[in-house]
Amino acid sequence: MLAPEHGVNRRAAAPADGAACVPGLLSHPGSRLLLAGIAALAAALALYAADIAIHPAGTLLRWFDLRVYLQAGLVARHSPATLYDWQSAPGIRFTYTPFAAVLCAGLSWLPWLLATWSMMAASILALTATAWLALRGLGWRGRRRAGATLLIAAVALWTEPVQRALHLGQVELLLMALITADLSGPGRRWWRGAGIGVAAGIKLVPLIFIPYLLLTRRWRQAAVAAGTFAALAAVGAAVLPQASAQWWLGPAFLRPGRTGFVAFVENQSLRALAARVAGSIGASGGAWLALAAVTAVVGLAAATILHRSGRPVAGWVTCALTGLLVSPISWDHHWVWFAPAAAVLADLAVRARGRARWAWWGLAGLLAGIFAAWPPVWWRGAALTPSGLIWYAPGSTPVARSHAEYHWQGLAWLAGNLYLLTGLALLAFVVAAAARCRHTRRTGPAGRIAVIPFARAGN
């Protein structure tokens, strides 16, 4: 069963008798973990830098989406009424909110080199910050938290979703950090919820966290998130009134095909799965709506139970997973939520004992392997560039729409739906764990969840 994430017993977490008296940096387990984390992240970054250096320009860092952002910013500045009709290339449009276009208009003043490398640095920092914040919510403290943060960041850097986000210059890592900071922040500060509102004001998928806040009875935070989202929509309407009318009233945001071919291999959502199975986007709409509705209800219920049973980080990670599944478009780079999920699994492994510990580490390793940025040399003879197992399946191009995804069989079908199938398996596992939590959690005399001390976390 999942272990409670709070109430760490500091006395139980102390080093063994005499360990604190041993001189030297390596006498403390937290110090060894910190040094291991520093070495791992340094090696991961050095390998990434070397990979960039030895490949031709544009192989690892194409900045395709960042270029669209900046071009859309220019359109918003000079021809705002055409923002949602404009195409950067055939089939490539600006698909974010009018408020996001306002931000892009500001970014478009930056020189290209400054914009690209600032996005790179900010994204890597955001990845590290997400792991840091998740571990805080899990009760980790001090050098153990710092070391575990760096280890998680090192592993996550070499996952395919993170590599794709960096390759495209995507905003996904920044939004994930913003949401994580909002959900893992301390205390009852009045601005909690604003981070979710800002993230949803840029891309709509984070709106799923507002019903999650309501279900977990965080009324003020939900109100702040909704109010922030509404305020940013109003800012977009004030600055870009014609584009806002087209976006909200057109409504452009309800047409997922604006982002490209819905059944494209890169889309790892229930909408894409329904289209691939049906062999048609139009014929799969009803099935997708039914699947998405059931998944949303079950996922949010499981997330709520986990939160109420003293596992808030597992709760909001489950909410994020639910959003990935039910969103009509969940590109591969949207699955960067592997990073906080890895923090939860690592925490469970450290807290467990005996065979359970190895089971949790095995699950963490399995997920790392599924989402890893494997070089595709064994199936396509390609160069040693980061790719992922989903690309084993033949895919259309978003423009040509060759519909190769409708004809997958066997391993190609499994690989082409791998992130989605993994997400569904994880959700089923979490639902089972949440059901068990609901029936077996221990309560104290006042009806509060009993605190079970753990010796490892928080040291």
Per-residue pLDDT of 17-66, as tens digits, reads 333 333 444 556 788 999 999 999 999 999 999 988 888 777 788 899 99
**Alpha-carbon gap, residue 386 to 364, rounded angstroms:** 20
b vs e for 344-382, b when ≥16 Cβ sit within 10 Å of the residue's Cβ?
A: bbbbbbbbbeeeeeeebbeebeebbebbbbbebeeeeee
170: enclosing H helix or E strand: none
- Going 256 to 340 to 63 to 112, the CA torsion angle's sign is positive
CA distances (Å), origin 176, targets 50, 94, 336, 337, 418: 27, 20, 8, 7, 22
Q: Please tell me the predicted confidence (pLDDT) of residue 74.
A: 97
- pLDDT 10s digits, 410-446: 999 999 999 999 999 999 999 999 988 876 654 443 3
Question: Greater confidence, 255 or 77?
Answer: 77
The answer to whether residue 447 scores a pLDDT higher than 90 is no
Q: Is 24 exposed, middle or buried (0-12, 13-18, 19+ CB in 10 A)?
A: exposed
Q: Averaged over 263-271, what is the pLDDT? A: 93
Per-residue pLDDT band for 8 (boundaries 50, 70, 90) equals very low
Q: Averaged over 362-379, what is the pLDDT? A: 86
Q: What is the mean pLDDT of the chain?
A: 86
Closest CA to 373 of 396, 355, 390: 390
Q: Please tell me the predicted confidence (pLDDT) of residue 56.
A: 75
Per-residue pLDDT band for 12 (boundaries 50, 70, 90) equals very low
The residue with tokens 């690592």 is 346
Task: Report cis status (omega within 30 of 0) of the bond before 251.
Answer: yes
E strands in 40-164: 87-89, 92-93
**Alpha-carbon gap, residue 75 to 77, rounded angstroms:** 5
Q: Please tell me the predicted confidence (pLDDT) of residue 366.
A: 96
The answer to whether residue 384 scores a pLDDT higher than 60 is no
Give 102's contacts (C-beta < 8 A, 6+ positions apart). 76, 235, 236, 239, 240
Q: Are 243 and 81 in contact (CB under 8 A)?
A: yes
Q: Please tell me the predicted confidence (pLDDT) of residue 92.
A: 87
Q: Please tell me the predicted confidence (pLDDT) of residue 285.
A: 81
**Alpha-carbon gap, residue 186 to 195, rounded angstroms:** 14
Residue 148 exposure: Cα atoms within 13 Å on the Cβ side: 32
- pLDDT 10s digits, 125-158: 999 999 999 999 999 999 999 999 999 999 999 9
Q: What percent of the chain has pLDDT over 90?
A: 69
**Alpha-carbon gap, residue 341 to 5, rounded angstroms:** 14
Q: Please tell me the predicted confidence (pLDDT) of residue 456.
A: 36
42: enclosing H helix or E strand: helix 29-54
Neighbour count for residue 11 (Cβ, 10 Å): 7
Question: Greater confidence, 231 or 191?
Answer: 231
The residue with tokens 């949401």 is 179
Q: Averaged over 182-196, what is the pLDDT? A: 84
Q: What percent of the chain has pLDDT over 70?
A: 85
**Alpha-carbon gap, residue 200 to 195, rounded angstroms:** 9
- pLDDT 10s digits, 325-349: 999 999 999 999 999 999 999 999 9
Closest CA to 383 of 97, 28, 60, 143: 60
Per-residue pLDDT band for 315 (boundaries 50, 70, 90) equals very high
**Alpha-carbon gap, residue 46 to 40, rounded angstroms:** 10
